[in-house]
Copies of this chain bind each other. A is one copy, B any other.
Amino acid sequence: MASKDRILRGKEETRTNILNAALSIGKKEGWQALSMRKIADMIEYTAPIIYEYFDNKDAILSELTCKGFGKLAERMETAKAKHRLPGKQLESMWMAYWNFAFEEKEYYQLMLGVEMSCCVLKPTSSSMKKPSELISEVIREIMKHKNPTEDEICKWYYTFWSVVHGLISINIVRQGVSDDINQQVLSNALTGIINSISA
């Protein structure tokens, strides 16, 4: 019967309406401000009907997370298709990853568990600067024979920090990376960067 189809289509539509509403609230007010009642308001229903379509709030976020990974994969695929040399392909794919993270920041935060609510308040707190100063000092020392600019030191500091923090947060969010690989990636990266600096 066609009416059954129409109803089915209608149900599927409000399902995606829920997802779209959740995403738009996340984009506009941040994920911490997302609530079932806000979603319901936006799709002009009351909160409990959402539970006809999703088990709970986390299920909505999980589905958006999956959609996010899909979008990311798409971007990386088209980025790869633009080049033939594998080296260029890799560069292009990671650039696509980078661009995705900022153009679809809310998706990315969901996918990789990146908050930004609380500690953003004190960006220049002294205790917060201490570790960066400690490291920068040693980088300056190790590079003193080639008179580096402050930007260069900063660049190397962020290179270190990125790889270490990245590996850590990947491990925290997606636990199950083998310790062996962790240790190899970490020490390889560290000695690689240190060599690049000293050379």
Contacts and interface: CB of A to CB of B under 8 A. Distances in A.
Contacts of A90: 135, 138-139, 142, 160, 190, 194
A192 B181 contact: no
Given A62-B119, A65-B118, A76-B131, A94 B159 contact: no
B113 A174 contact: no
A112 B167 contact: no
A97 B158 contact: no
A181 to B, nearest CB: 6
B94 A160 contact: yes
A24 interface: no
Chain copies in complex: 2
A109 interface: yes
Contacts of A62: 118-119, 121-122
A170 interface: yes
Interface stretch (A10-18, A37-45, A66-74): A66-74
A141 interface: yes
B184 A138 contact: no
A114 interface: yes
Interface string A171-199: 11111110011101111111110101010
A57 to B, nearest CB: 9
Given A69-B125, A194-B91, A158 B167 contact: yes
Interface in A73-124: 73, 76-77, 80, 86-87, 89-91, 93-95, 97-98, 101-102, 105, 108-123
